Amino acid sequence: MRRALPFAALLALASLGSAQAGDILIHGGPIHTGVEAAPTAEAVLIRDQRIVFVGGLDAARARPLRAPATST
């Protein structure tokens, strides 16, 4: 359970953003999925407060990413 806490904290922080926020790509260490068939992943992509991709970093980076909205 301890291993899942940092990832859960990141997801909680990601959910605080608005729908106008850019995509969030989490990578840089093993991500424990809790899925027996695929227990770890290299990357997680979050869009509009939903996990839209879990898998390899190269595949995550190949997906089009949205930049955050900015104002001047």
Q: Is the pLDDT of residue 4 over 90?
A: no
pLDDT digits (tens, 9 = 90+) for 5-59: 566 555 555 555 544 578 999 999 999 999 999 999 999 999 998 999 999 999 9
What pLDDT, on the 0 to 100 scale, is given for residue 62? 93
Q: C-alpha distances in angstroms, 16 versus 6, 24, 69?
A: 16, 12, 15
Fold of the 4-62 domain: Urease, subunit C; domain 1 (2.30.40)
What pLDDT, on the 0 to 100 scale, is given for residue 13? 56
Query: In a 3-state reduction of DSSP, which class is residue 12?
Result: helix
- What is the Cβ-side half-sphere exposure of residue 13, based on CA atoms within 13 angstroms? 9
Domain boundaries, the chain: 4-62
Q: Please tell me which residue, 3 or 65, carries the higher pLDDT value.
A: 65
What pLDDT, on the 0 to 100 scale, is given for residue 68? 74
Between CA 48 and CA 7 the distance in angstroms is: 17
H-type helices in the chain, by residue range? Answer: 4-14, 57-62
What pLDDT, on the 0 to 100 scale, is given for residue 18? 47
CA dihedral angle for residue 37, residue 63, residue 19, residue 14, rounded to 10 degrees: 50
